[in-house]
Amino acid sequence: MFLDPRAIIMFGANALLIFLVQLVNSGISGWPVYLFILGPMVVLPALYLRHQSYFICTLCSGLWVDTTLGVPLGFFTTLFLVAGAIIFSMRLRFRAEHNYHPILLAHSVNLFLLIVLTMSAGGAYLGVMSFWIQVLTTLTCSHVALLLVAPWFFNFERQLFEICHLQTEPEDLPLL
């Protein structure tokens, strides 16, 4: 099959996650806090799907995030594909059927994305102390929220697989 049906479910869940994060961000816009939770979007497609389906799901999710967050087209798409390719190449080392490794990977990917986004802001802001305070506040709040959101998100996707009667284990699950 050209496209695994689980890729469509994962893309839909990614679209729901970015919508919910943007909804929370608009609700707390009066406070100097911003949630940046993009890490979980890359993890399960890279761990669960074959190469073609993972690529299509990650590409569509990256384009969706690019248009939603107002960054140059291809910014998060490229970063999602790079982070996903790294996870995909090492996926036999991770236990994807439980949440421990995916949560650690989601935190790592989220940190990677935030660092690259911070460095792309330009040299004019790198010497401003209030910029770094905002980055550290965003980083702290996002990772604390990610501790709650990532397990829910991964279990939500697995539950959607069960509801749709799809395979709930990753492709090429390693034998221990």
Per-residue pLDDT of 109-136, as tens digits, reads 999 999 999 888 777 777 888 888 989 9
The whole-number pLDDT of residue 64 equals 93
What is the domain extent for residue 135? 5-163
User: In Å, how far are 24, 38, 49, 104, 176 from 145, measured between CA atoms?
Assistant: 11, 12, 26, 14, 32
Within-domain flag for 168 = no
Residue 14 in domain: yes
- Examine the pLDDT at 172 and tell me if it is beyond 70: no
pLDDT grade for 16, boundaries at 50, 70 and 90: very high
pLDDT score of 32 more than 70? yes
Say whether pTM exceeds 0.85.
Answer: yes
Cα–Cα distance, 73 to 63 (Å, whole number): 7
User: Is 176 inside any structural domain?
Assistant: no
Q: Which residues contact 8 (CB under 8 A, 6 or more apart)?
A: 57
Considering the domain boundaries, does residue 46 fall inside one? yes
Q: Which of 46, 52, 48, 37 lies closest to 1 in space, CA to CA?
A: 52
CA dist., res. 19 & res. 168, Å (int): 25
**Residue 14 CA: distances (Å) to CA of 52, 78, 97, 122:** 18, 16, 19, 28
Instruction: Tell me whether residue 97 is in a domain.
Output: yes
Say if 107 falls within a structural domain: yes
**Among residues of the chain, what percentage have pLDDT more than 70?**
95
- Does residue 130 sit within a domain? yes
Computed over every residue of the chain, the mean pLDDT equals 88
pLDDT of residue 5: 86
176 has a pLDDT exceeding 50: no
Residue 174: phi, psi to the nearest 5? -70, 145
Classify residue 93 by its DSSP letter: G
DSSP conformational letter for 1: -
What integer pLDDT is reported at residue 75 of this predicted model? 93
All residues at 6 or more sequence positions from 29 whose CB lies less than 8 Å from its CB, including other chains: none
Task: Give mean pLDDT, residues 88-109.
Answer: 85
Q: Is the pLDDT of residue 142 over 70?
A: yes
| Mean pLDDT score, 145-159 | 93
Please tell me the least confidently modeled range out of 78-87, 91-100, 107-116. Answer: 91-100
Residue among 84, 83, 113, 130 at smallest CA distance from 18: 113
Domain count, the chain: 1
Residue 173 clears pLDDT 70, i.e. is over it: no
| Amino acid 150: pLDDT | 93
Is 174 domain-assigned? Answer: no
